[in-house]
Structure 1
Amino acid sequence: MADTTVNGVKVPFLPVGGVDGLKQKPPIQLPGEKSFDAILQKELDVVKFSKHAQERLQERHISLNQTDMSDLQNAIARAEKKGSQDSLVLLRDMAFIVSVKNKTVVTAMQGETMKENVFTNIDSAVIAG
């Protein structure tokens, strides 16, 4: 039996399917099962809150319901489509400074704490919900 060379390596046998049998096939996706790419993209689209923002939410007794989170996420997506980097998102009586590319809320405020504030280092403002 003669040795066969595959990718510069001598192999003492030839696979049943020939050399083409060594090629990887795409993974089988079962019906109703999400692909890894879809799951990863969904996780990447989730709005995150920095430690500082989490502290501000607690200190200022700001709570967000599911609708607020959805509106915030949509506002970030709109800012991203326009090429924004850092955005002020106004949602009802709340304001959020957001790192758009990281989908991360950097700080949050509401009501009286927003008065007399100057927002710097932002390149856009989005009025949400």
Structure 2
Amino acid sequence: MRNSSEIYLQPFMPVGNQNNASKSTSSQNKGSQNFADILRQTDRTVNFSQHALSRMKERAISLNDADMEKLNDTVDKMAQKGARDALIYLKGTAFVVSVDNKTVITAMDGASTKENIFTNIDSAAIL
């Protein structure tokens, strides 16, 4: 009689042609440096929340490559100085950014804000 508390695990085996396994491993090693470079770039890039994207669309706010570079550089500098939640004012648009997450939380232009009061921020940058 078998004890019910015993668990037998069988290791997972790859499915497919075993002859191609060494070829795919060598191609993965060549691509790993490129992946690391891409990962570093991705880690540096500011993301936009769904809320921010919808506000930008509603308010016809767009950013070109130079604007994105300024935004990325500013968020990096703010992170180095210990900022957590920041207001970044760029080309007439205010971006509320979670610096830790590198995420734009919302965006507003001068015409869409009624009171022009921002709360729960610890840093600001005017570009």
Q: Structure 1-normalised TM-score?
A: 0.69
Residues 17-44 of structure 1: CA distance to partner in whole angstroms, max 9, x if unpaired?
A: xxxxxxxxxx9769xx845433212111
| 1:9 corresponds to | none
- Runs of 5+ unmatched residues, structure 2: 1-27
| 2:67 corresponds to | 68
Contact 1:57–1:108 (CA under 8 A) maintained in structure 2 = yes
Q: Structure 2-normalised TM-score?
A: 0.70
| 2:40 corresponds to | 41
- Runs of 5+ unmatched residues, structure 1: 1-26
SS at 1:76 equivalent: helix
| 2:94 corresponds to | 95
Provide the rounded CA distance (Å) in 2 between the counterparts of 1:61 and 1:36. 34
Provide the rounded CA distance (Å) in 2 between the counterparts of 1:37 and 1:47. 18
After TM superposition, give the deviation of residue 46 of structure 1 in Å. 1.1
Bigger Rg, structure 1 or 2: 1
Alignment of 1:48-59 (within 5 A): 48-59=47-58
SS at 2:111 equivalent: helix
After TM superposition, give the deviation of residue 127 of structure 1 in Å. 1.6
Moved more, 44-53 or 33-42: 33-42
Instruction: Indicate how the Cα distance of structure 1 residues 126 and 28 shifts in structure 2: closer, same or farther if over 3 A, else same.
Output: same
Q: State the identity as a percent.
A: 47
Alignment of 1:1-129 (within 5 A): 34-114=33-113, 116-128=115-127
CA RMSD of aligned residues (A): 2.1
Q: How many residues align?
A: 100
Moved more, 95-104 or 105-114: 105-114
